[in-house]
Amino acid sequence: MRIKKIACCTDFSENAELAFEAAVEMAEKFHAELDLLHVLPPVINPMMSDSEWIIPNESQDSLFTQLEERMEQTYGSRIDRDVKHKLVVLSGHVSTEILRYLEEKQIDMVVLGSYGLTGMGLVLFGSVAKRISHKAPCSVMVIRQSK
């Protein structure tokens, strides 16, 4: 298996932390590039009209800047200088944006955490990890927290 480009998806959760650690270890082992992704989902309030919930560009730019800074503080500073990496903030439907990025950037492997939803939680909320593992154009590693 040739792994030259690894993507790691994060939402700053405990499971994302485990995925980050695994992705960094793999990037070091395979001398691969590492892209850390965070997707800002759209904020939708069913009580507002379409024009009311659209975030002004200035606010969105500020939010992106804050997320980029948080990614640098949380993850960027912990990646060895020898590992070529980039921190990426996207916006939109989480799994759709991740899948688009994986394809556009020709990622070889994506690493992400799993919340382990089951039953009604899975039915109501779905699973980003499940969607990615079924539709990704590359290999997928889902990191689960040991119980």
> For residue 129, what pLDDT is reported?
85
Average pLDDT, the chain: 83
Separation between Cα atoms, residue 33 and residue 37, nearest integer Å: 13
Neighbouring C-beta atoms of residue 57, cutoff 10 Å: 8
Q: Provide the pLDDT confidence category of residue 62 given band limits of 50, 70 and 90.
A: confident
Domains of the chain: 5-143 (3.40.50.620)
pTM: 0.82
- Structural contact between residues 23 and 34, judged by C-beta atoms closer than 8 angstroms: yes
> For residue 35, what pLDDT is reported?
97
- Better-predicted residue by pLDDT, 76 or 5: 5
Encoded tokens for 106: 């020709």
Separation between Cα atoms, residue 116 and residue 144, nearest integer Å: 7
Separation between Cα atoms, residue 77 and residue 12, nearest integer Å: 15
How much is the average pLDDT of 83-108? 95
Pairing of strands 109-113, 139-143: parallel
> For residue 15, what pLDDT is reported?
87
**Beta bridge partners of residue 86, listed in sequence order:** 35
Q: Tokens 């298996």 appear where?
A: 1
> For residue 120, what pLDDT is reported?
42
How much is the average pLDDT of 72-80? 92
Q: Which residues contact 125 (CB under 8 A, 6 or more apart)?
A: 117
The b-or-e profile of 65-80 (16+ CB within 10 A means b, else e) is eebeebbeebbeeebe
Encoded tokens for 86: 């980039």
Q: Provide the pLDDT confidence category of residue 124 given band limits of 50, 70 and 90.
A: very low
**Beta bridge partners of residue 90, listed in sequence order:** 39
